[in-house]
Structure 1
Amino acid sequence: MPDRRCETAPALTGPQWSQLTRLPGKDELFALDLFAREAWATLTQQLGEQGAYGFAQQAALMWVRPDAVAAGSARQVLAAMHAAGFRPLAAQPVHVDRCGVRALWAYMCRWATVERLWLLDALAALGPGLLVLWADDTGHEASARLTALKGSNAPGRRAGEKGESLRDIAGSPNRLLTMVHAADEPADVVRELGVFCPWPQRRALVADAARNLAEGGCCELQDALAAVEEELPPLGIPAPGTAVPAASDLVTGPLGHRWAALWAASCQWPLLTVNPGPAAWPEQESRTPWR
């Protein structure tokens, strides 16, 4: 008789995604998304189903990106989060590779040029960023308030924020070097835990964060950031240049050379395509980066 144990193993299921997203159509996509389902499995194993829903709704996810570390503004970003009433629950240095870049922005790159993807790959190759889970002690939904605080990826759209957005504080110069990434809503918190962390690291991160969330505690960020900076030391803002970098400059040579080439290319290479790809869910049809 054939061994049928694999056919009867528990399925890698997910939640009612409509409880974790406000966007019609997004719930259907996330129900099929392997990163989202995998991370939900970690949350339910650690916290139970109701605990998983509560965690996704109460925790905000931020990746202080390698460009913020290289620019020397990561500490200002973390200080601004404390000042805004967020409490750090858990943190890990995190690398993102080329496949991770595409996974992280899989649903959001419909306007991206191929050049933009190359630049994001070069950014990720600089070194790690710092992944932080936060609680919002003001009583609001943590991910929604963090998304608002983060600010637009286009500097011109931040004019009404009076320089108070995290991306302004970090010194983001354009829509490529945005310095700070944040999960937009609870569904994204779940999915991005699956993108950023493999099983063992995700389990440890969730356990630490859930404990601090329940006990009103916080994690120590300075040691985690020091581990990131040991691999990717702050380099500062590169001096302005006029030459358009070659693609090879982004991936060869010393770290400082690659950082300067990335900064220059982000200001000179095309980042938006005129003809976007298909929208992932209906709400995206109304979005345009041109205004």
Structure 2
Amino acid sequence: MLGEEGAYAFAADAALMWVRPDAFAAGTARPVLAAAEEAGFWPLAVRPVRAERCAVRALWAYMVRWATAERLMLLDAVAALGPGLLVLWADGTPGPVSTRMKVLKGSNDPARRRKGTLRAVAGAPNRVLTMLHTTDDAADVVRELAVLCSWSERARLIAEASRRLCEGRSAGLEDALRAVEKELSPLGPPPQQSAACAPPVQQVFTGPVGERWRAVVAASQSWPLLRATPGPAAWPEQETRSPWR
């Protein structure tokens, strides 16, 4: 649709963010988006997007060998809370924009996170409830659009975003935000739980969304999340990704 040169330029000049269901459940989605805009990014296109189990595995494919089975179940449970919000961003500087967005996002480890990053704004409490996902580089923009959108959906999304990118215009966020909040209204920030409050597995997947959210929060603070040693790498790129960096 954009031609080879245009496709490479688009992948470099746009960053993808998925504001996850846990951010909407915690009521921190709007502050995260506002902080991204205050940092100089503007939205090119926005869509409510629901991630299913296979999308969860594909989004975190590089790091999945470090995850415990419990962590994978929790990621599935977070995605099952409701939709999230996919946003393509630009910042008007030479690409790759994803690299700068990744720095702004902040670490998934609260102990290594800098003040003012988006995950700090969101109050992300641990390695599971990280509130948002962004692309690491230009290649991931292409890969993750394919993970989160069908052929027809991403053709429309790219056409819309590339047009705004050329014109220097931004997309409105409010309608898409309201559409997600209609399905997943804020349930409150993640409360701190003791390790003794670990819920049984079925509680994170069954029952009303409010009960599932409380169970997910409790499990994220008590279940093991990170393997001491990684599983085998399926391809070389997995060898380069480590949660300890």
TM-score by length of 1: 0.80
Instruction: State which of 38, 41, 54 in structure 2 corresponds to 1:99.
Output: 54
Question: Distance in 2 between the 1:241 and 1:82 partners?
Answer: 33
Higher relative contact order (CA 8 A, sep 6+): 2
| Deviations 1:25-64 (CA, angstroms, capped at 9, x unpaired) | xxxxxxxxxxxxxxxxxxxxx2111110100010000000
Superposition pairs of residues 80-159 of structure 1, within 5 angstroms: 80-139=35-94, 141-158=96-113
Question: Distance in 2 between the 1:192 and 1:286 partners?
Answer: 19
Q: Does the alignment pair 1:51 with 2:3?
A: no
- Cα distance, 1:283–1:197 mapped onto 2, change above 3 Å: closer
Q: Tell me the secondary structure at the aligned position of residue 62 of structure 2.
A: coil
Deviation at 1:199, TM superposition (A): 1.1
| Deviations 1:138-161 (CA, angstroms, capped at 9, x unpaired) | 445310100011011111111xx2
Q: Tell me the secondary structure at the aligned position of residue 268 of structure 1.
A: coil
What amino acid maps onto 1:260 in structure 2? R
Question: Distance in 2 between the 1:56 and 1:116 partners?
Answer: 30
Residue-pair matches, total: 243
**Structure 2 residues not aligned, in runs of 5+:** none
What percent of counterpart residues are identical? 63
Match of 2:216 in 1: 262
Deviation at 1:240, TM superposition (A): 3.4
- Cα distance, 1:290–1:183 mapped onto 2, change above 3 Å: closer
**Structure 1 residues not aligned, in runs of 5+:** 1-45
Question: Displaced runs of 4+ in structure 1, greater than 6 A?
Answer: none
Alignment RMSD: 1.6
TM-score by length of 2: 0.94
Question: Distance in 2 between the 1:213 and 1:91 partners?
Answer: 13
Deviation at 1:99, TM superposition (A): 1.1
Deviation at 1:258, TM superposition (A): 0.2
Contact 2:13 2:94 in 1 (8 A): no
Match of 1:178 in 2: 130
Match of 2:147 in 1: 195
What amino acid maps onto 1:277 in structure 2? G
Question: Distance in 1 between the 2:74 and 2:212 partners?
Answer: 11
Instruction: State which of 198, 207, 214 in structure 2 corresponds to 1:253.
Output: 207
What amino acid maps onto 2:36 in structure 1? M
Match of 2:189 in 1: 237
Question: Distance in 1 between the 2:13 and 2:192 partners?
Answer: 42
